[in-house]
């Protein structure tokens, strides 16, 4: 009896994860460059929703992509002189040490309640930026900026460790309101300040084999392009428009966290913050 040939499905008819990965990287990179939003906000929901990564792999892979995006966008901001490098020391280093301690202390805390608190804090930050209006703020901590930066590092590290998101949504508003930084300068400084904790989190996830390295080149290509476009778009916008845009994104993020929309479930955090 003649055997029927096996049905062959053409390769081009199957889903293309590489194309999806480039698009995901492009979206996340643009968000990071335009508004210094990290992978916990954009990448993790996209990786779990579109590429069907499990929660732990999405977290580790998002950290790797966020590192590429932060370096790329940060370089674009640095070329234009939009970074305060002292913040990397005085805020970035404290957050690196505080984040894992806060994560361990809060491991058994109610995650849902914490995310509601985080959402409220982010909404208040966005509202405060909107209240500034079109004129740049003077900054209430300019006379004690070093101490203030240490406080910012401790606070952002605590947020990263307890809530499981990067300090991006809190760093830029604190830089603007406390130090009177222009919005673009605050966003560029925010990108660089969270590099230490991002590197630390990535190393831990790499050791635990929670990074999809095969997807990383495609995500990184999209992220690199998106980060450059987003950063240049941010620096091309008038100061007050960029600040209002960032404030509106913060309020939307806060509402998103409070509503706890489906598909936005982050994995339980261990010692590393989300990017």
pLDDT along the chain (275 residues), means of 10: 48 64 92 80 82 85 89 94 95 90 81 81 89 80 95 88 72 93 94 88 86 93 94 93 91 84 49 50
Residue with the two structure tokens 């096996």: 6
Q: In terms of pTM, does the model score above 0.85?
A: no
Report yes or no on 237 lying in a domain.
Answer: yes
Q: Are 129 and 243 in contact (CB under 8 A)?
A: yes
Does some domain include residue 35? Answer: yes
- The answer as to whether 208 is a domain residue is yes
Which residue range forms the structural domain that includes residue 87?
18-259
Residue 38 domain-assigned (yes or no):
yes
Task: Tell me whether residue 265 is in a domain.
Answer: no
How many beta carbons lie within 10 A of that of residue 106, not counting itself? 17
d(CA 256, CA 121): 13
For residue 184, the Cα-to-chain-centroid distance in whole angstroms is: 16
What is the per-residue pLDDT for 63? Answer: 85
Query: What per-residue confidence (pLDDT) applies to 242?
Result: 92
Q: Could you give the number of structural domains in the chain? A: 1
Is residue 183 included in any domain, yes or no? yes
Whether 3 is covered by a domain: the verdict is no
Is residue 110 exposed (0-12), middle (13-18) or buried (19+ Cβ within 10 Å)? exposed
Distance between the two ends of the chain, CA-based, in angstroms?
60
Q: 243: exposed, middle or buried (C-beta count within 10 Å: 0-12, 13-18, 19+)?
A: buried
Residue 61 placed within a domain:
yes
What is residue 11's predicted lDDT score, i.e. its pLDDT? 44
Residue 7 has a CB neighbour count (10 Å cut-off) of: 5
In the block, which residue shows the tokens 């209006």? 133
Q: What is the pLDDT of residue 275?
A: 55
By C-alpha distance, which of 58, 21, 19, 18 is closest to 41?
58
pLDDT of residue 271: 46
The pLDDT, as a whole number, for residue 108 is 80
Q: How far is CA 185 from CA 35, 171, 189, 238, 257, in A?
A: 11, 12, 6, 13, 26
């Amino acid at each position: 009896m003649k055997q029927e040939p096996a049905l062959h499905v053409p390769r081009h008819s199957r889903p293309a994860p590489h194309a999806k990965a480039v698009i995901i990287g492009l979206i996340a990179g643009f968000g990071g460059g335009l508004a210094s939003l990290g992978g916990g906000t954009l990448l993790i929901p996209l990786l779990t929703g579109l590429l069907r990564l499990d929660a732990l792999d999405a977290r580790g892979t998002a950290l790797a992509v966020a590192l590429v995006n932060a370096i790329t966008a940060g370089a674009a901001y640095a070329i234009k002189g939009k970074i305060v490098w002292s913040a990397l020391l005085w805020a970035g280093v404290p957050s690196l040490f505080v984040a894992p301690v806060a994560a361990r202390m809060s491991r058994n805390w109610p995650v849902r309640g914490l995310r509601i608190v985080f959402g409220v804090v982010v909404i208040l930050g966005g509202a405060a930026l909107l209240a500034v209006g079109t004129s740049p703020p003077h900054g209430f901590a300019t006379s004690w900026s070093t101490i203030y930066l240490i406080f910012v590092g401790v606070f952002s590290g605590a947020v990263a460790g307890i809530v499981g998101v990067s300090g991006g949504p809190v760093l830029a508003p604190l830089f603007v309101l406390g130090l009177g930084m222009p919005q673009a300068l605050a966003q560029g400084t925010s990108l660089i300040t969270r590099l230490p904790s991002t590197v630390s989190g990535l190393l831990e996830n790499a050791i635990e084999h929670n990074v999809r390295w095969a997807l990383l080149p495609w995500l990184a290509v999209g992220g690199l392009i998106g980060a450059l476009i987003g950063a240049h778009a941010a620096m091309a916008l008038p100061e007050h428009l960029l600040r209002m845009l960032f404030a509106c994104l913060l309020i939307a993020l806060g509402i998103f966290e409070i509503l706890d929309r489906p598909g936005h479930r982050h994995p339980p955090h261990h010692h590393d913050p989300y990017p």
